[in-house]
Amino acid sequence: MFNNLEPWLNTLTTILVILGSVMVLLLIVDISLVATFKAILSRHNKAMNVMLMTKYDNIKKILDVLSDAEFPIDPKMSEIFLSIDTKMFTYQDTPECKQARDKLTYLRSEVFYLSRKNPSLENNEKYMIAKNNISETDVVYRNTVAMYNADVLGYNYWVRFMPYRWIFLLFKIKVKEII
């Protein structure tokens, strides 16, 4: 490679250049994969936000149907529903979002329990449509969460990739939590 150097120095220089090139290439791959996973996680986050808002709207529809039918609703359910701040659905990995998701899950369970307890609700078309929408939304949400968690594992792997871990620590890029 370098003709004007001693043969051993020429070999050493060639090895160092090749090793440096491989390290730079690995750094480029690492940074590009972290950026790709970050974009994918952002899309999953938006999808989960949409799913939670849909679930929230369907629970609101069910509570409205129950109110219109003058069905006795536990005041605690109304309080819990009103305490949910939908702005918290924006970032899925925050404790506030987890609390809001838990409230929605509790309300969904209560609404489904009401229909098992009172078969007359099964005849209400609006109630059944909203209930089915919640069930379908839950399935899509669980699938989205599974994909999000898989991508979080990939993101965390590349952020903590041993040769370049120090770069991400230097820029204070943190690993993401699984939902």
- Which residue, 171, 144, 149, 133, is CA-closest to 37? 149
Residue range 13-34, pLDDT digits in tens: 889 999 999 999 999 999 999 9
- How far does CA 147 lie from the centroid of its chain? 8
Residue range 133-151, pLDDT digits in tens: 999 999 999 999 999 999 9
pLDDT at site 151: 96
DSSP annotation string for 94-155:
SHHHHHHHHHHHHHHHHHHHHHHH-GGGGG-HHHHHHHHHHHHHHHHHHHHHHHHHHHHHHH
DSSP structure class, residue 5? S
Confidence of residue 59 (pLDDT cuts 50, 70, 90): very high
- Least confident range from 8-22, 114-128, 159-173: namely 114-128
Residue range 103-122, pLDDT digits in tens: 999 999 998 888 788 877 78
What φ, ψ does residue 155 adopt, rounded to 5°?
Answer: -60, -50
pLDDT at site 2: 60
pLDDT at site 21: 96
Distances (CA, A) of 104 to 116, 129, 145: 19, 18, 16
Residue with tokens 């659905």: 89
